[in-house]
Structure 1
Amino acid sequence: MPHVSDSRLFASSPHPGRRRVLGYLAASTVLAGGLPRAARAAGQDAATTPAPAAAAPAPAAVAPAPEAPRPFSYDILAQEMKARAAKPHVERTLANSPLTKLTYDDYQRIQFRRDHARWQGKEEMFRLEAFYLGWLYKTPVELYQVEDGKATKMAFRNEDFQFYNPISVKIPETGPLPGVAGFRLNTPLNRPDKFDEMVSFLGASYFRALGRGNVYGLSARGLSVNTAISGAEEFPEFTNFYLEKPAPAAETVTLYAALESPSLTGAYRFVMKPGAATTMEVTVQLFLRADIQQLGVAPLTSMYLFGGNDPGNFNDFRPEVHDSDGLMLDDGGDLRYWRPLNNPPQLATSYFSAENPRAFGLMQRDRNWNDYLDAQAFYNLRPSLKVEPLGDWGKGAVRLVEIPSQSEANDNIVAFWIPSAPAKAGDALTFAYRLSWGMLPLPPDQTLAHVQRTRTGHGGVAATKSKLDSRKFIVDFEGGLLGNLPSNADVKARLTVAKGKVEQQTLSKIEGTKTWRFVVDVSAPKGTIIELSAVIEGYGRTLSETWLYQWIKE
């Protein structure tokens, strides 16, 4: 068994900035297949507002003298961040600026002018646009263009943005900006004649990306520090970004980023390649100022409101509402694990121990629109996100945090890797991994059957009175070598139930399909946290991935 789990109420509530900080990403942009979550919640998109706001009668600011280009490389950045770790952390934020008074609606109405995008050459395959400062995003970041080993600061002005009426804060029409909030990169992702958004970096160390045919869903972070433990969570921030100017017709773009927080600094490199699955090769060097109780590497953030296995009491016409439906873990050996997500009655957490895992991620396996019926959100098109460690990660655990939620506007799912070695002041740590964003379908020639669906309900037998004190779990395993076996094959389900009682269980093949259905009824006292695990075995081998589930008996 690779996991130990518990569920409890923590002393501190989740930081509100994390719960939906990425829901407002690209809030002024219409995406293929629907609006970003925050724009949809507001009931409009700023791009449809026809009237630009009048310029405020304020004098234009005087632009500072441009900085001279300076030598740059990833090694130089790493040395700078190592030196910075030896000094106290300094907060960066807008001071007494009217931009801090921008409302959510104001922020939606400020858009980067497409004709001001950087890298608009005829053969350029990537275009850069910036996000305006203000509203939630009060920490200026600086962007640099790297060319021929030299970094040159990119200057942005109010003239680069379009302001749509009404905006409650007076903003000059011209003049330099003290920085920007973040940026996005556009590329011909879906059609050769149209530049679509590929990736966005906005807010703390949050970023997210799209594969071909996707709409925005889950997000990633550069790092998590003390997430969902007793005490305050720390939110490291990307402060400076260095973007190598891509060569004409280049298929990849390389980005470097400086990370800062009270407890550490970091140097990041992202080599990004758009495609059916957009990939990022990520290299991380961390320099610790202080001991860290819990270091979260490659953190992922998503939303699960309700679904087939956890329908809740939402009285919603949509059968399912989620950006991701399960956590996948490939332990690097012969086993793969699938843990359906829940919207629990209380803050819940699970740990999945591993040594040098091959991959983990938050996945959206269900791609059937009829299972969602949302003609705006298109949850069936939300990307899955897989993390593939590169090099030796040693021993540790993937931690899954599930936060109770009553709204799809809240990100309530977090997953990340926790190294087993303690994170101590003075440590220099290195990690490398690949992120893949996209539909990420399972390979058709896989050996192991996969969990096609999980359903739950009251225990008992059909056509008889339900047993309200027990819970029925239905798990459908599809494909692999198991799917080719006849219904009388000598296979069995190996079931483990912690803190619950098994009332009955069956395993049978669904006629006319390559699906085997495992059904188990479990009872437990109220308030019990029950852990379940099931895998199909036969003929001396494992025939399916391992299904894991956490049930909190209410």
Structure 2
Amino acid sequence: MTIDAVPSAAPTRRALLVGTLGAAAGLLPAVARSAEPDKAPALPGKGEAFEANTLTDLARARAAAPYAGPKTGDVPAVLKALSREAYDAIHPAEGRALWADRNVGYVLEPLLRGSIFETPVSLFVVENGLVQPVAYDKTAFVAPGLDLPDLEPDAAFSGFRLRARFEGAEDVSSFALFQGASFFRLVAEGQDFGINARALALRPADSRGEEFPLFRALFVETPAPGQPVVVHALADSESATAAFKITLTPGRDVSTAAIEGTVFARADLDHIGLGGMQGSYLFGPLDRNRVDDLRAAAFSVEGLAIHNGYGEPIWRPVHNPEALQVSAFVDRGPKGFGLMQRARAYDDFEDDRRHWEQRPSLWLEPLDDWNEGAVTLLEIPSDSELNENVFAYWRPKAKLAKGVEMRFQCRQHWSKGWPDPLPPEIARVRDSRCGHGSTGSRRLFAVDFEGDTLFQPGDIDVDLSASAGTITRQDRFRYPERKTLRILFELDPGSARASELRLALRRGQARVSESWLFRWTP
């Protein structure tokens, strides 16, 4: 990850390389701008060349212009009033989706504005290096019970869905979705959409209020058969613009998105979120005490996994708190982090409608040096399984001064399994449970570690601590047939209103498990 200072007078050339993102970068001065233009530069038009630097040059130039938000009040009432069910029923007419008549292995489906999706997004395809705007034709859509209105070509769409022919399959099925703010999501073959990724976040859960950068234009390269799809995305907000190149590769077990991003600061930025991802958590085995529900659990995210720059693998189960909780895992040069869905059996949820076990895990690995910062976790109180109340992102320590740009690279893995790789000598947390303890406010916890390494020669030592309260009991139960070691312990919180719990296994001085972290609150 690097920060560059670039004067707007020469938007297509890098004027000064300031250095890698780090402590010194937080002291970068603002860069003086030349006279700002009256309006933002226009998007490339039909037949214009689209080159490697087209979008970054456009984002840089837009950052030098005053911000102009999108028009959202012009959605026809017939579309705006649609329920989500009625909106989701709109689909392309037979053979009318883009590339439907071409053997490229993908089908691109433009998504109309309507329901909760009011922000217009300009859609383009890029073929042979030339730009072609996606035209709106209401006869290309089927809308049950609805007479679609005429729409302006540059204000008709809110995003797109991409279908892919996964290896060995005859037909295309859902693979990627770009819609809403700077959100996008992927699935592996046979999965349901779950976690949302954010291209860029600004001031999440900040007392000054969060700012949501919006996708304003999406350029999709027509792929060659058997090749990935490349999406170029322009995001814009009051404080920043950004350009992203996102290379999408479908897979049977893991689908990937390789991301190259450049952020341009319109104003001083001191709270940036990179690699943002969010999902839902209503209840699970750790917090059923306020739940009256016949299902075993309801969540698309079970926990946050981190492989920090110091070589420690961390597992932090998430939960549904009574008040907003913010956790920061300070790090330098993280190896990766992600929101995981480790529960993969129907019996984990017993939900016949939503099938949470079919939702993807999302693991992110930086591809350059992300230097100092913190993996930040937000847990927001929720009374609905539809609320995406768990949000994780990387917050760089360095500030980004007005007029300065920052580049970063990462790869996302959207997976059916556990894409956060662990060496064979490290046991993984398989399950976490909590219930009432022996008396009063005491709480009993059970943490199951799974791995062959737990049953190899040598004694297993338990490192267990609580930041507040007292551990009053600790037991272990071995289950070789399941390759599982359960650690059972009781917390007496006393008068404490919160306690940070930490549990890890070792053999002598050698780590043999992930570090299990959890914040207990009443």
Q: TM-score, normalised to structure 2's length?
A: 0.87
| Partner amino acid, structure 1, of 2:50 | F
2:10 match: none
Q: Does 1:441 align with 2:421?
A: no
Q: Is the 8 A contact 2:464 2:502 kept in 1?
A: yes
107, 116, 120: which one aligns with 1:127: 107
CA distance in 2, matches of 1:189, 1:231: 44
> Aligned-residue CA RMSD in angstroms?
2.0
Corresponding residue for residue 80 of structure 1: 58
Report whether the alignment pairs 1:270 with 2:234: no
Cα distance change on mapping 1:190 and 1:345 into 2, 3 Å: farther
TM-score by length of 1: 0.82
Structure 2 residue 126 is matched with structure 1 residue 146: yes
How far apart, in 2, do the equivalents of 1:403 and 1:543 lie?
A: 32
| SS of residue in 1 equivalent to 2:113 | coil
Matches within 5 A, 1:154-553: 154-165=134-145, 167=146, 171-172=148-149, 178-189=155-166, 192-247=169-224, 249-275=225-251, 276-441=253-418, 446-460=424-438, 467-485=439-457, 489-510=458-479, 512-526=481-495, 528-552=497-521
Pick closer, same or farther for the CA change 1:101–1:175 going to 2, 3 Å. Answer: closer
CA contact (8 A) 2:281 2:319 kept: yes
Deviation of residue 214 (structure 1)? 1.2
Contact (CA 8 Å) 1:158, 1:177: kept in 2 or not?
Answer: no
Please report how far the alpha carbon of residue 272 of structure 1 lies from its aligned counterpart in structure 2 after TM superposition.
Answer: 0.8
Q: 1:113 to 1:527 in 2, by over 3 A?
A: farther
In 2: Cα distance, 1:424 partner to 1:444 partner? 37
SS class of match (1:189)? coil
Change (3 A) 1:414 1:114: farther
Aligned partner letter, 1:255: V
Question: What 5-or-longer segments of structure 2 have no aligned partner?
Answer: 1-43
Q: What SS class does the counterpart of residue 262 from structure 1 fall into?
A: coil
> What is the CA deviation profile of residues 121-171 of structure 1, one whole-angstrom value per residue up to 9, with x for unaligned ones?
442111100111122212211111112222221212212211211x4xx64
1:108 to 76, 88, 96: 88
Given that 1:328 and 1:360 are in contact with CA atoms closer than 8 Å, whether structure 2 keeps it comes out as yes
In 1, the alpha carbon distance for the partners of 2:366 and 2:142 equals: 41
> Within 2, Cα distance between the matches of 1:347 and 1:139?
28
Cα deviation, residue 458, structure 1:
1.6
Tell me by how many angstroms 1:526 deviates.
Answer: 4.8
| CA distance 1:492–1:377, shift in 2 (3 Å) | same
User: How far apart in 2 are the matches of 1:95 and 1:403?
Assistant: 29
- Residue type at the aligned position of 2:463: R
**Distance in 1 separating the partners of 2:59 and 2:492:** 54
Compute the displacement of 1:472 (Å). 1.2
Give, as a single letter, the amino acid of the residue that structure 2 aligns with 1:270: I
CA distance in 1: counterparts of 2:364 and 2:487, whole angstroms: 29
> Relative to structure 2, which stretch is displaced further, 322-331 or 115-124?
115-124
Query: What secondary structure, in the 3-state scheme, does the structure 2 residue paired with 1:82 have?
Result: helix
Please report how far the alpha carbon of residue 374 of structure 1 lies from its aligned counterpart in structure 2 after TM superposition: 1.2
3-state SS of 2:334 partner:
coil
Shift in alpha-carbon separation, 1:85–1:484, aligned structure 2, 3 A: same
How far does residue 539 in structure 1 lie from its aligned partner after superposition? 3.1
Query: Cα–Cα, structure 1 residues 547 and 138, in superposed 2: closer, same or farther, change >3 Å?
Result: same
* C-alpha contact 2:213 2:237 (8 A) present in aligned 1: yes
User: Residue 325 of structure 2 contacts residue 380 of structure 2 at CA under 8 Å; is this kept in 1?
Assistant: yes
Q: Which residue of 69, 82, 85 corresponds with 1:91?
A: 69
AA partner of residue 342 (structure 2)? R
**Cα pair 1:450 1:480 within 8 Å, conserved:** no
CA distance in 1, matches of 2:66, 2:176: 32
Residue 3 of structure 2 aligns with which residue?
none
> 2: CA distance between counterparts of 1:419 and 1:269?
21
In structure 1, the residue corresponding to 2:60 is in which secondary structure?
A: helix
**Partner SS for 1:194:** coil
Number of equivalenced pairs: 475
Q: Which amino acid aligns with 1:139?
A: T
* Structure 1 residues 153 and 176, CA gap change in structure 2 (3 angstroms): closer
CA offsets, 1:465-489, max 9 Å, x none?
Answer: xx1221111111110422334xxx4
Q: CA separation of 1:143/1:176 partners in 2, compared to 1, >3 Å: closer, same or farther? A: closer
> Given the superposition, is the C-alpha separation of residues 96 and 521 from structure 1 closer, same or farther in structure 2, using an over 3 Å criterion?
same
Which string of whole-angstrom CA distances, capped at 9 and with x for unpartnered residues, describes residues 262-302 of structure 1? 00000100111100200010000000011223111010010
Q: What's the offset of the Cα at 1:101?
A: 3.4
1:517 shift after superposition: 1.6
